[in-house]
Structure 1
Amino acid sequence: MKKFKKISAAIAATVMVASLSVPMIASLPAGAADITITGISTTQQHSFEIYQVFTGDLTGDILTNLKWGSGVTATTYTDAGGNAVTVSAGAAVDENIVTTLTGLLNAVGVVEHFTLAATPTETMVSAADGTATISGLADGYYIVKDVTNLDDQDDANSAWIVQVAGSASIDIKNAKPTVDKQVYDNDDGVTGDNNGWFESADHAINESFQFKLTATIPEDADFAAYEAYKVVFNDTMSDGVTFESIASVKVNGTDVPAYAEGTADNGYKSTAAPAQAGGSWTLTIEDLLEYDADLKDGSSIEVIYNAHLNENAIVHTATADNTDTNKNTVSLSYSNNPDATGAGTAEGKTPEDTVWVFTYEVDNTKYKDSVSAENALADAGFRLYKGETEVGLVYDAVKGAYRPVADGETAVEMKSAADGKFNIIGLDAGTYTLKETTTPGGYNTCAPITIEIKAVHEENAGGTAANLNLTGSSNMTNDVINKSGSLLPGTGGIGTTIFYVGGGCMVALASVFLITKKRMSKKED
Structure 2
Amino acid sequence: MNKNIARLAVTAGLTAALSFGGVMAPVTMAFAAGAPTVATEKGKVAITDEAYTDTTFKGIQIFTAKVTQDQKGDGSWDVSAAKTLSDIKWASDDVKTLVTTALKDVPGVPNVNEDAQTWAEFISTTQGSNYGETTAVDNGTVLDLIAEALEGDKTLTWTQPSNSSKGNFESLDQGYWLFVTDAPSKTGNTDVYTSPIFTIVGGSDVKVAPKKSVPTVVKKIKNDGGSDWADKADSQMGQKVEYKLTGTVASNIATFDTYHYEFSDKLSDGLTADDSSVIVKIGEKILSPNTTPGAKTGYDVSIDKATNTLTVKFADLKTAAKQANAALDGSSNVVVTYTAMLDPMKATNVTVGDTGNDNAVKLIYSNNPMGEGTGESVPDTVRDYTYALKLVKVDSVETAKKLEGVRFTIQATTPDDASSNGKFVQEKGNLGADAYEFTTNKNGEISVAGLDAGTYTVHEVEGSNPGYNTLKDFDFTIEANGLKKLEGERLDDNTDPNTLKVTARSNNPTMVTPSADGGTITLTVKNEKGSGLPLTGLNGVTFTWIAGGAVLCIGVAHLIRSRKQAEESEQE
TM exceeding 0.5: yes
Cα separation, 1, equivalents of 2:18 and 2:170: 23
Residue number in structure 1 paired with 2:336: 303
How far does residue 472 in structure 1 lie from its aligned partner after superposition?
5.1
Query: Could you say if the C-alpha distance between residues 69 and 284 of structure 1 is closer, same or farther in structure 2, counting changes exceeding 3 Å?
Result: same
Equivalent in the alignment of 2:245: 213
SS in 2 for 1:37: strand
* Percent of aligned positions that are identical: 24
Q: How far apart are the structure 1 equivalents of 2:234 and 2:163?
A: 47
User: Do the aligned partners of 2:278 and 2:337 also contact (CA within 8 Å) in 1?
Assistant: yes
What is the aligned partner in structure 2 of residue 40 from structure 1? 49
What is the alpha-carbon distance in structure 1 between the residues aligned to residue 52 and residue 466 of structure 2? 74
AA at the equivalent of 1:418? K
Q: Is the 8 A contact 2:350 2:357 kept in 1?
A: yes
The yes-or-no answer on 1:452 pairing with 2:474 is no
For 1:235, which of 265, 268, 284 is the aligned residue?
A: 265
CA distance in 2, matches of 1:325, 1:262: 35
* Aligned residues: CA RMSD: 3.9
2:280 paired residue number: 249
Opposite residue 306 of structure 1, the aligned amino acid is T
Distance 1:146 1:354, change over 3 A: same
- The equivalent position to 1:154 in structure 2, one of 190, 206, 228, is 190
Count of aligned positions: 454
The offset of 1:41, in angstroms, is 3.5
Q: Distance in 2 between matches of 1:124 and 1:455?
A: 56
The equivalent position to 1:285 in structure 2, one of 314, 330, 340, is 314
Aligned mates of 1:487, 1:239 — CA distance in 2: 54
Quote the Cα distance in structure 2 between the aligned partners of 1:150 and 1:108. 23
Unaligned runs of 5+ in 2: 26-36, 70-82, 128-141, 414-420, 505-513, 515-520, 545-572
Counterparts in 2 of 1:243 and 1:95: CA distance versus 1, 3 Å? closer
Contact 1:49–1:144 (8 Å) recurs in 2: yes
1:102 to 124, 128, 135: 124
Is contact 1:331–1:352 with CA below 8 Å preserved after alignment?
A: yes
1:427 is matched with which residue?
Answer: 451
Partner of residue 417, structure 1:
441
2:317 and 2:255 mapped to 1: Cα distance? 13
The answer for the alignment partner of 1:403 in structure 2 is 429
Question: Alpha-carbon deviations, 1:470-500, whole Å to 9, x = none?
Answer: 1354533122233333488xxxxxxxxxx9x
Q: Given the superposition, is the C-alpha separation of residues 385 and 72 from structure 1 closer, same or farther in structure 2, using an over 3 Å criterion?
A: same
**C-alpha distance after superposition, 1:30-71 (max 9, x if no partner):** 235233234513334121222122212233333222222147
Q: Answer yes or no: is the 8 Å Cα contact 1:124–1:133 preserved in 2.
A: yes
> 1:438-517 counterparts in 2 under 5 A?
438=462, 439-456=464-481, 457=483, 458-459=485-486, 463=491, 464=493, 465-471=495-501, 473-474=503-504, 475=514, 476-486=521-531
Pick the aligned partner of 2:85 from 53, 63, 77. Answer: 63
Q: Is 250-259 or 163-172 further displaced after alignment? A: 163-172
Partner residue, 1:379: 405
Gaps of 5+ in 1: 87-91, 188-193, 317-321, 395-401, 489-498, 511-525
Aligned-pair distance for 1:159? 1.8
Q: Secondary structure at the match of 1:384?
A: strand
For residue 415 of structure 1, what is the amino acid of its counterpart? T
What's the offset of the Cα at 1:126? 7.9
**CA distance in 1: counterparts of 2:531 and 2:109, whole angstroms:** 112
Question: Map of 1:138-149 to 2, 5 A cutoff?
Answer: 138-149=173-184
Describe the superposition over 1:432-459 as per-residue Cα deviations: whole angstroms up to 9, x where unpaired: 1111014222221122232110112143
After TM superposition, give the deviation of residue 307 of structure 1 in Å.
Answer: 0.8
Larger radius of gyration: 2
CA shift digits 1:387-428 (9 cap, x unpaired)? 27241412xxxxxxx53258xx97631111122111121100
Q: Is the 8 A contact 1:47 1:125 kept in 2?
A: no
Q: Does 1:185 align with 2:220?
A: no
